[in-house]
Amino acid sequence: MDGGEGNVISYNNMKFDEVAPYLSHINVLDHNRARLHQREVPPGPAPDVQKAILQAGKESVPVERKPNEEQEAKVVETLRAKGRTVVVPDVTPFQKAVEPVYEQYGKSLGLDKIRMIQNQ
């Protein structure tokens, strides 16, 4: 194996580039932004508090993502400076190819939930 894909920060930190100098940076890993959803909300905070929590979550996304994106850009520069090949492919054709899957599962899961995930 001489290539890989994944979180570029981990790829660099774990020195995967030493054995796999080709990296596809597809920027799809979102592992540290877990969100839990359920159909029924258990008794909890008052509606106004729940609304405030949801709003705070929405507002925190760009604040949290910006430093991560900046760090990823620096790591890509570092890898390229070490002579590694980092490819950032256009994922649009792949997204288009899986559109039927979204439609299929959207019927049972709720297309609104799928669209919400796509827009994250």
Q: What's the mean pLDDT in 35-61?
A: 77
Counts of helices then strands in the chain (DSSP H, E): 5, 3
Does the pLDDT value for residue 31 go beyond 50?
no
Q: Where are the beta strands (DSSP E) in the chain?
A: 3-5, 22-24, 85-87
CB-CB neighbours of 77 under 10 Å: 11
Q: What is the dihedral of CA 8, 12, 14, 20, to 10 degrees?
A: 90
Average confidence (pLDDT) over 74-80? 96
Residue boundaries of the structural domains of the chain: 1-37+45-89, 91-120
Query: What is the residue-averaged pLDDT of the chain?
Result: 83
Question: Which is more confidently placed, 11 or 1?
Answer: 11
Q: Which of 66, 73, 88 is nearest to 5 (CA)?
A: 88
